[in-house]
Amino acid sequence: MQIDPSLLLSPNLVLRLLIGFAVGGLIGLERQKRMIEESTVGVRSFGLHSLLGTLAAYTFTVTGNPIILIYGTAISIVIVSLHVTYKILRTMRKGLTTSLVFAMSFVLGALVGLDTPPEGQLVGTLQVLAMTIAFLVFLVLGFKEDIAAAVAVVTRDEMISAAELGVLILFFWPLIPQSIELAEVTFPLFQTYALVVLLLAISFANYILVKKYKNRGVYFFGFFGGFANSEATVSSLADFYVKTGREHPGRISLSTILANLAMVLRNGVIVILLDPTLQIIRFYLVPIAILLIVGAFRFVYESRVRKEPQEIEIDTKFVSPFEFGAALRFAAVFTFVTYMSLLLQQYFSDVGIIIAAVFGGFVSAGAVVAIVAPALATGTITLSTAVYAVIIATTTSVFNKIIYAYTAAREKKLLKIVGRDSLLMGIGVIVYLLLLFAGIVPM
């Protein structure tokens, strides 16, 4: 069979070979860091093993003859088998992680070789898949102690509930339609479902982090808890304030600032994901900067008067997505705010979006952002309306922390400090809005 010489000399082949070596070499890099003897396989062994898979698979795609692929697979099986035998019989060491990922490196390399990128693209889908898996394996191996410690703090009931929630997510994912018609409103059901799943996944990660590191400070708790639910975070911080004898209200207020900052950063991620034009995020960076400046100022001030609080644990139940009741309530609130925003937009156009931003921000600023960003991308609303709505929803979400702090603590001292800081941040954002509206800041 005649082979086209351009296939062997093309830049795609060179890049394919580099990726073929890299997907194995990245895993080998982590294994080599854990070497306790010279015979342990490392970057070279893993990289060459995956490159063997790439060459064997690519030869098959070019020639159509599977003999080289079969030969390469057989060699890989023999090498992995010898490695397992040597490790068990000669070194008497437990665990087959290295052998397993060593075998996986050949498969990743074969994926790179089998891929056929579309015309005009250097990297295809299978190559991206191989690189992604290699990176994930690198993370899992590199942070296995941290992962094991995080899993250790999860109770049996939480694991069961998490598994049940995962089953529901996987079950409903293929059944959710892209959109449905409700009262002449096209509701993006699948987009809303995907965002709820994303936010619940963030809540899961924060639950593990906060539960493991909660005694290292309320600042850590405030920031990472704010990614999941900033309102619930502030309520828990106020409860913590009461349990510690109502001391250090400034520290609680600073943690509230960090919760607000996390909320804004989360909304920024939603904007980037749903607005590929990146028009909104250019103006949304200013509120983030305002929160950063205020937070830095308050942190410097509080560090001068800091005293270690008592070791009282913060209740972390609010960030757990494990309980179905909490997950369903979150999904219901998010869906309701999303639908009302669409309904107001349907009947009142741009004015409806602004109204939804004012009231929706007190409940879920993320839901307002999730409606505004794609509406701009599709040309349904103007850029100015989208920017105003996102910033107004963020501002109302900052102001509502005053209500949550007072409701939980019932004390004017904390209310005064949290109110002062929230007003300072909110006023800064409102001034920015006025500058936009007056045209002083061009849009």
Q: What is the mean pLDDT of residues 253-282?
A: 84
- The pLDDT score that the predictor gives to residue 313 is 52
Task: Please give the structure tokens belonging to residue 107.
Answer: 């498969």
- Work out the pLDDT band at 318, boundaries 50, 70, 90: very low
**Which of 142, 176, 204 finishes a domain?**
142
Count of structural domains, the chain: 2
Task: Please give the structure tokens belonging to residue 20.
Answer: 């073929």
C-alpha 28/C-alpha 47 separation (Å) is 7
Q: Which residue has the higher pLDDT, 216 or 236?
A: 236
Residue 413 corresponds to which amino acid?
K
Check whether residue 372 and residue 234 sit in a common domain. yes
C-alpha 224/C-alpha 231 separation (Å) is 13
- The pLDDT score that the predictor gives to residue 8 is 53
Q: Which residues constitute the domain of residue 278?
A: 155-438
Q: Which residue has the higher pLDDT, 49 or 95?
A: 49
Check whether residue 135 and residue 160 sit in a common domain. no
Check whether residue 260 and residue 401 sit in a common domain. yes
CA 268 to chain centre: 12
Q: What is the pLDDT of residues 122-147, one digit of tens each?
A: 778 888 888 888 888 888 787 766 66
- The pLDDT score that the predictor gives to residue 53 is 92
- The pLDDT score that the predictor gives to residue 165 is 65
Check whether residue 209 and residue 236 sit in a common domain. yes
pTM of the model: 0.57
Check whether residue 132 and residue 162 sit in a common domain. no
- The pLDDT score that the predictor gives to residue 51 is 93
Check whether residue 78 and residue 186 sit in a common domain. no
Q: Which of 23-32, 57-66, 205-214 has the lowest mean pLDDT?
A: 205-214
**Which of 118, 142, 166 finishes a domain?**
142
Check whether residue 347 and residue 412 sit in a common domain. yes
Q: Which residue has the higher pLDDT, 364 or 281?
A: 281
Q: Say how many C-beta atoms besides its own lie within 10 A of residue 69's C-beta.
A: 21
Check whether residue 169 and residue 116 sit in a common domain. no
Check whether residue 231 and residue 131 sit in a common domain. no
**Which of 121, 142, 163 finishes a domain?**
142
> Could you report how far apart the first and last alpha carbons of the chain are, in Å?
62
**Residue 244 included in any domain:** yes
- Work out the pLDDT band at 205, boundaries 50, 70, 90: low
pLDDT tops 50 at residue 234: yes
Check whether residue 303 and residue 209 sit in a common domain. yes
Share of the chain above pLDDT 90, in %: 6
C-alpha 150/C-alpha 134 separation (Å) is 22
- Provide the mean pLDDT of the chain: 76
Check whether residue 173 and residue 138 sit in a common domain. no
